[in-house]
Structure 1
Amino acid sequence: MQSESQHGLGTTVPFSPEAIGTRIEEIAERVGGKRELANLAGIHETQLYKYIKGANSPSIAVAVALADTAKVSLDWLLLGKGESVPEANADAEYSYIPLYDAKISAGHGSWAEGAKVLTRLAFTRYSLRKKGLDPAKLSAVRVDGDSMLGLLDDGDTVMVDHSRNTLEGEGVYVIRLDDHMYAKRLQRQFDGSVHVISENKAYRDMVIPKSYQEEFEIIGRVVWAGGWMV
């Protein structure tokens, strides 16, 4: 990761840091979150937070790097003038959700830490907003295995909402249990236990007693799934 000095210019932007911070937060949402924006622009994440909070002003070189990374107008980022992107640029209508190279296992296995972003999946900002989804709290990964066959095929891509990390009702969630990751349907029972259900009935369901749930973590709810038909 590059430091600000490696960008070549250290002169800070002589404009309101609070206003710039608001716009930096907006472009972070557009590219998949603050950490992703910092990584792509080659700056430290802690420094990015200082820009957003208005504690520091970015150098001109860093502002250029941020604008280039998010494909936004530099005039808009620095001054708030005009549109963030040209009207002809359809990217203004989309949020880009990072797709990681690790697979969530639908049977056995783990989602390795430090997974890299393979690409970003484009979703209209309208469609995400309509579903009440925050792009900064979404990620996409691939399913591995056939235990959810009939709902999720091996190789399908799922989008996970990390803000929904408590059991809201029956639904498909990504969970961590005994240091393994699963994509499963969850049901809470009257006695407080949680049933972990496979769509493929060749796999037995699991029951997590209420007393064991300290070892059970909900990573997020699956809110979208897609895959090839051929």
Structure 2
Amino acid sequence: MVTDDPRANLERLIRENGHDFAALSKMLGKNPAYIQQYIRRGSPRKLDEHDRRRLAEFYGVDEALLGTPAARSRSVPRPEPSDGLLRIRQLQVGASAGPGSLADDEYAESMGFAPKWLRRLGADPANLSLIVVDGDSMAPTLGDGDDIMVDHGAATRALRDGIYVLRMDDVLLVKRVAMGPSGKLTIRSDNPQYPDWEDVSAESVNIIGRVVWTGRRL
């Protein structure tokens, strides 16, 4: 039920989509208690404009539901009732699969996916984002311009072999990562024309998330 209370409206959206407060707070780049404190304790008194806009885009609702005065509300595409898609945020930056590119971590737009399809990925939708691959070092697995879906929740779990988005020396990369018996990481490119890194200290690598899906233009 839509109410005049933006906190109640946000809590309803969170529960209807099976999300949790901590994951949504992380999506906003806030501390894990941020959303819970806003809804339950009224602190902050209102969401700042940037956070409110990002939440409205994520859930496909009008910003007015989350507290924007009607005269200033920004309409975003709202799924039809029969649509039932969940919006996954799309980052403006590219994850380099080449020499490397600096990251800016800006949210550009979002894309809709069926909840049943997302559940098969085994990841919380609030922890997912889409990033564009930049470069060909992961070819033929990933090509330049491919969209990849990244599970940011994997950054808080034990590392297992797979393709990850990671940050090294302020550069965002997409690479194949494996943990060795010594606890050191092996970071590889699928394209043999690019170098690999052996025995990399885990402390020098910031895991952003695990790649769980890719979409390719033909």
Q: TM-score, normalised by structure 1?
A: 0.66
| Residues 79 and 85, structure 2, Cα contact 8 Å, conserved in 1 | no
Query: What SS does the corresponding residue of 1:164 show, helix, strand or coil?
Result: helix
Within 1, Cα distance between the matches of 2:86 and 2:145? Answer: 23
Given that 2:95 and 2:101 are in contact with CA atoms closer than 8 Å, whether structure 1 keeps it comes out as yes
Question: Is it true that 1:108 corresponds to 2:99 in the alignment?
Answer: yes
Q: Percent of counterpart pairs with the same letter?
A: 33
* Alpha-carbon contact 1:21-1:54 (below 8 Å) kept: no
Cα 1:71/1:87, change in 2 over 3 Å? closer
Which residue does 2:82 correspond to in 1? 90
Please give the residue correspondences for 1:7-18 in structure 2 after superposition, counting only pairs within 5 Å. Answer: 13=4
Is 1:189 aligned to residue 180 of structure 2?
A: yes
Match 2:133 to one of 130, 143, 158: 143
Q: Secondary structure at the match of 1:201?
A: coil
Q: In structure 2, do the counterparts of structure 1 residues 20 and 198 end up closer, same or farther at CA, with 3 Å as the change threshold?
A: same
- Asked if structure 2 preserves the Cα contact closer than 8 Å seen for 1:186 and 1:196, the reply is yes
Aligned to 1:124: 114
Alignment-mate amino acid for residue 81 of structure 2: N
Asked whether the 8 Å contact 2:149–2:212 carries over to 1, the reply is yes
Counterpart CA distance in 2 for 1:228 and 1:87 is 25
Aligned-CA RMSD value = 3.9
Q: 1:116 to 1:199 in 2, by over 3 A?
A: same
Q: Secondary structure at the match of 1:53?
A: helix
- Structure 1 or 2, whichever has the larger Rg, is 1
The match for 2:215 is 226
Distance in 2 separating the partners of 1:153 and 1:88? 33
Letter of the 1:53 partner, please give it: R
Paired residue for 2:74? none
- Once the two structures are TM-superposed, the CA of residue 146 in structure 1 deviates from its matched residue by 0.8
Secondary structure of 1:196 counterpart = strand
> 2 CA distance for matches of 1:95 and 1:194?
34
Distance in structure 2 (CA, Å) of the matches to 1:206 and 1:22? 45
Task: Give 1:155 deviation, angstroms.
Answer: 0.5
Cα 1:112–1:14, aligned 2, differ >3 Å: closer, same or farther? closer
Work out whether residues 187 and 197 of structure 2, in 8 Å CA contact, stay in contact via their aligned partners in 1. Answer: yes
Cα drift, residue 115 of structure 1: 1.8
Taking structure 2 as the reference length, the TM-score comes to: 0.69
Change in CA separation of 1:149 and 1:47 when aligned onto 2, cut-off 3 Å: closer
Q: Structure 1 residue 99 and structure 2 residue 86: aligned?
A: no
Residue 13 of structure 1, CA deviation: 4.6
The CA deviation at 1:183 is 0.5
The letter for the 2-side match of 1:197 is R
Q: Which residue of 2 aligns with 1:163?
A: 153
Query: Aligned-pair distance for 1:53?
Result: 2.5
1:25-62, Cα deviation, whole Å (9 max, x unpaired): 34785xx946879xxxxxxxx98654432547x99xxx
- For these two proteins, the number of residue pairs brought into alignment is 188
Unaligned segments of structure 2, at least 5 residues: 47-51, 67-77
Question: Where do residues 49-64 of structure 1 align in structure 2 (5 Å cutoff)?
Answer: 49-53=36-40, 55=42
Inter-partner Cα distance in structure 2 for 1:71 and 1:158? 21
Cα deviation for residue 219 of structure 1 reads 0.8
Q: Distance in 2 between matches of 1:114 and 1:169?
A: 25
Amino acid at match of 1:203: Y
* 129 and 141 in structure 1: CA distance in 2 versus 1, 3 angstrom threshold: same
Alpha carbons 1:25, 1:34 under 8 Å: kept: no
Equivalents in 2 of 1:104, 1:115: separation in Å?
Answer: 13
